[in-house]
């Protein structure tokens, strides 16, 4: 198996969200914003006394962002809940009639898309 087959779940998780959200999810803007915030905080301090102090500051910033995303403040909380439910009880994938084995992924099926078959 190759890397793409093994990481299909992670690569295509955005397919579980409504189609209107796909462009926002595929964008790197949230990551860029987070990196900008980390750089801004780092510039204020200039020199950290040790590695642990840097890790504490960055950890607190990352924890704050994580809490915003998981607390429901972000408009994607309902689709995230559907993804969590699908991870617990994955949707079954029908086997195609032509004898090809489907990929072991269930994310795309609820969006009306079909996973790529493995030959």
Alpha carbons 101 and 88: distance in angstroms, whole number: 23
Q: Give tens-digit pLDDT for 46-58.
A: 788 898 988 999 9
User: Are the CB atoms for 111 and 25 separated by under 8 Å?
Assistant: no
104 assigned to some structural domain: yes
59 assigned to some structural domain: yes
Q: Give tens-digit pLDDT for 81-115.
A: 777 787 787 766 555 555 555 554 444 444 445 44
| Residues 117, 95 share a domain | yes
Backbone angles phi, psi at 115, to 5 degrees: -60, 155
| Residues 114, 89 share a domain | yes
Please give the pLDDT value at position 77. 64
Q: Give tens-digit pLDDT for 1-46.
A: 687 788 887 778 778 777 877 777 777 787 888 899 989 988 888 7
| Residues 84, 66 share a domain | no
* Domain span holding position 40: 27-75
Counted domains in the chain: 2
10 Å CB burial of residue 84 (0-12, 13-18, 19+) is exposed
111 assigned to some structural domain: yes
| Residues 59, 36 share a domain | yes
CA angle 118, 27, 30 (to 5 degrees): 125
| Total residues found in the chain within this entry | 119
């Amino acid at each position: 198996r190759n890397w793409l087959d093994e990481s299909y779940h992670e690569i295509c998780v955005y397919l579980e969200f409504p189609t209107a959200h796909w462009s926002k999810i595929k964008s790197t803007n949230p990551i860029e914003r987070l990196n900008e915030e980390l750089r801004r905080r780092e510039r204020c301090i200039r020199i950290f006394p040790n590695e642990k102090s840097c890790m504490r500051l960055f950890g607190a910033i990352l924890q704050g962002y994580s809490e915003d995303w998981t607390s429901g403040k972000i408009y994607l909380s309902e689709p995230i809940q559907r993804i969590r439910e699908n991870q617990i009880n994955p949707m079954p994938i029908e086997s195609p009639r032509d004898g090809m084995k489907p990929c072991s992924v269930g994310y795309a099926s609820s969006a009306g898309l079909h996973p790529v078959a493995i030959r």
